[in-house]
Amino acid sequence: MWPWSRRVDVVQSWPGEWPLRLTGRTPSGVAVILRPLRLDDEAAYLAVRRDNVDWLGPWDATAPRPTPTTRSFGDLVAHHEAEAAQGRSLPFVVEVDGEFVGQLNVSNIVRGSFWSCAMGYWVARAWAGQGITPTAVAMAGDHCFGVLGLHRIEINIRPENVASLAVVRKLGLRDEGLRPRYLHIDGDWRDHRSFAVTADELGGSTLRERLTQSSQQSLLRHTDPAPQG
């Protein structure tokens, strides 16, 4: 018997992780809610996805091999719930002003010797540029570190995705370099840059504090008078 087998028994259930609702505000004060996808989101979800096909297409995950069945919206909700119940993901909807505006998925939650996760996200074009995604990442990230006790968060981004690179820059994630042909996106294997942060790198601070600081610094840069002469 392995010496630590009794301890494994204790940590194999993950109580209180899901369903989960987190609330926060962007640095400019927009209220953001993270919550599970519900069956009654179907009309809003389908409308937003339909209206944002061109906006999301270049960044959407695709299947490298044809999938045999088309999933219904109910199947999608059930799939998310099953993954979350197993402690493998936190599949959030992003809600602002009572509207479904996007998604933030904490995926690949792995414990063992890793205690790590990845994040993916999108917002509808109409809601872009308001700091909603960096805020959502900070809210979910602080939960991952502070409540789940994870050690590392990773975000993978196509090098040409300027808007998403801005999100990790605002949160001060570390650039870990290029992963060639890393994920199947928009119909092909695409290079990604990998960004990460570990709990110890925050030095007792939070991602939300980091975001507030970086937005104050950016405000100062934009309001500083131009140098004379």
State the residues that interact with ligand COA by CB under 6 A: 55-56, 59, 121-123, 128-134, 157, 161-164, 166-167, 170
Give which of 229, 74, 208, 224 is closest to 141, Cα–Cα. Answer: 208
Q: 38 or 125, CB closer to ligand COA?
A: 125
Phi, psi angles (nearest 5°) of residue 104: -135, 115
> Least distance in Å: CB of 129 to ligand COA?
2
Query: Nearest-CB residue to ligand COA?
Result: 129
Identity of the residue, 14 or 55, whose beta carbon is nearer to ligand COA in the bound complex: 55
Question: Closest separation between CB of residue 61 and ligand COA, Å?
Answer: 9
23 or 72: CB nearest ligand COA = 23
Kindly list the distances between the CA atom of residue 46 and the CA atoms of 34, 73, 124, 140, in Å, as whole numbers in the listed order: 19, 9, 12, 24
Specify the pairing of strand 152-157 against strand 116-123: parallel
Cβ 213 to ligand COA shortest distance, Å: 15
Residue 117: which region, alpha, beta or left (left: phi > 0; alpha: psi -120 to 50)? beta
Q: Please state the closest distance from residue 39 (CB atom) to ligand COA, in A.
A: 24
Scanning the chain, the segments in alpha helix (DSSP H) are 5-11, 42-51, 53-56, 73-85, 132-146, 162-170, 207-223
Q: At what angle do helices 132-146 and 162-170 cross, to 10 degrees?
A: 50
* Cα–Cα separations (whole angstroms), residue 40 to 43, 77, 100, 101: 7, 10, 11, 15
* CA-based radius of gyration for the chain: 19
Q: CB of 121: closest distance to ligand COA in angstroms?
A: 5
Nearer to ligand COA, 148 or 167 (CB): 167
Residue whose CB is less far from ligand COA, 7 or 179: 179
Q: How far is the CB of 125 from ligand COA (least distance, A)?
A: 6
- Least Å distance, CB 9 to ligand COA, is 37
Q: Is residue 151 within 8 Å of 110, Cβ to Cβ?
A: no
